[in-house]
Amino acid sequence: MDPHKAFADTVPTPEEARQEKMDTLIGYILQIGVLLSLVLIAAGLFWTWLRKGRLELDYRITGMNLFEFVANELRLAVDGAVQPRLLVNLGIITLMLTPFVRVAASVVYFLAVLKNWKYTLFTTIVLAVLTYSLFLS
């Protein structure tokens, strides 16, 4: 909802207008990420049900970091091994990447649009720590 439409007496400064565009951008990143992940997981489950007549998944994800996990799944996909588990795993991956992409987009926005060095630095620190944690082994 646009607050300036709701309350006509407030006129946004250019700075505020750019900030509000950022709110909208981040809102959509989060929404699309979560929805896509839910659709992938639901589709994987539905496919499992079509194949096996049940909804329980009996495979495991061995301990690995997110990037190994992504590489692993992409390799399977390229090999043509598109199975229900691939969809469920891609759903989990999408879910985990959603906040990550949100932070990455914030870095770019603070840097390129708002030109706010303080917050470019803060969001870069967040992105660095997250990247480190996703590369843990």
Partner 1 sequence: MISFPILFLVSVVAGFVGAMSGMGGGIVLIPTLTFLGVDIKHAIAVSILSVIATSSGSASAYTRDHITNLKVGMFLEMFTIVGALAGASITIVSSTKPLYIAFGAVLLGSWAALLFAGEETYHAGEQDAFTRWLELEGSYPDYALGRVVHYKARRAYFGAPAMFGAGMIAGLLGIGAGAVKVLIHDLIMGLPPKVSTTTSNLIIGVTALAGTSVYLVAGMINPGLAAPVILGVVLGAFIGTRLLVRLTNLAVRRFFLIVLLVLAVEMIIRGIRGA
Least distance between partner 1 and beta carbon 78 (Å):
21
Residue 87: HSE in the Cβ half-sphere, 13 Å Cα cutoff? 16
Comparison of 3 and 79: residue with beta carbon closer to partner 1 = 3
Cα–Cα distance for residue pair 12/120, rounded to 1 Å: 23
How far apart are CB 18 and partner 1 at their closest, in Å? 12
List the end-to-end C-alpha distance of the chain, in Å, as a whole number: 43
Residue 36 CB, shortest distance to partner 1, in Å, is 11
Surface-to-core class of residue 105, CB atoms within 10 Å of its CB (0-12 exposed, 13-18 middle, 19+ buried): middle
If DSSP codes are grouped into helix, strand and coil, which group holds residue 46?
A: helix
Site for partner 1 in 55-114 (CB under 8 A): 55-66, 69, 85, 88-89, 91-92, 95-96, 98-100, 102-103, 106
From the CB of 74, what's the least distance to partner 1, in Å?
16
Find all residues with CB under 8 Å of 33, minimum gap 6, and list them. Answer: 94, 95, 97, 98, 101, 102
Q: By CB under 8 A, name the binding residues for partner 1.
A: 1, 3, 6-7, 10, 19-20, 22-24, 26-31, 33-34, 37-38, 41-42, 44-45, 54-66, 69, 85, 88-89, 91-92, 95-96, 98-100, 102-103, 106, 116, 118-119, 122-123, 125-126, 129-130, 133-134, 136-137
